[in-house]
């Protein structure tokens, strides 16, 4: 599993009972199967350091043959993330997790499965050690 924020969020989804890692919850790539899945992607290209914190952009995508199911599952995932808001997601400690925009239906893939996604910003506090 990825050790980044996307891996931590995927593990959080597993811990919350949304699915099983690498069966219907995936990190970093969207496989051709199964038809119904959750994928968590690091869309920031890595961490973007600032003076006091690290910021990551993470996309949460849901794919399903049913438009209603895709939207319903995505809504449940987004609510779960927003209610938690901060703390440990898997092994990653996130100081603040927030959506950047509402979810977007990005249409159907080549196999006519619906895809819904939303971008979240995750901020992690840096820790400093003084000698």
Predicted confidence (pLDDT) per residue in 17-76, tens digit: 999 999 999 999 999 999 999 999 998 865 444 444 588 899 999 999 999 999 999 999
Name the nearest CA neighbour of 19 among 6, 1, 38: 38
Q: What domains are there in the chain, each with its CATH number? A: 5-125 (3.30.2000.30)
Of 84 and 51, the structure prediction assigns the larger pLDDT to 84
Name the nearest CA neighbour of 75 among 117, 107, 28, 47: 117
d(CA 119, CA 57): 7
- Chain position carrying tokens 């996309």: 59
User: What's residue 51's pLDDT?
Assistant: 46
User: What's residue 126's pLDDT?
Assistant: 56
* Mean pLDDT for the stretch of residues 94-100: 92
C-beta separation of 58 from 40 below 8 A: yes
pLDDT in tens, 2-17: 458 899 999 999 999 9
Please check the confidence at residue 128 and state whether its pLDDT lies above 60: no
pLDDT in tens, 102-125: 999 999 999 999 999 999 999 886
Q: How far is CA 70 from CA 41, 101, 107, 108, in A?
A: 17, 18, 11, 11
d(CA 109, CA 31): 12
């Amino acid at each position: 599993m990825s050790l980044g924020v996307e891996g931590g969020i995927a593990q959080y989804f597993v811990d919350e009972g949304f699915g099983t890692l690498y069966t219907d919850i995936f990190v970093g790539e969207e496989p051709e199967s199964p038809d119904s899945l959750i994928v968590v992607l690091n869309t920031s290209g890595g961490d973007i350091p600032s003076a006091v914190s690290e910021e990551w952009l993470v996309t949460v995508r849901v794919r399903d043959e049913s438009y209603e199911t895709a939207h319903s599952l995505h809504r449940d995932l987004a609510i779960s993330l927003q209610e938690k808001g901060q703390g440990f997601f898997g092994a990653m400690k996130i100081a603040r997790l927030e959506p950047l925009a509402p979810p977007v239906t990005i249409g159907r893939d080549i196999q006519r499965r619906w895809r819904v996604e939303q971008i979240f910003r995750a901020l992690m506090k840096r820790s400093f050690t003084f000698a």
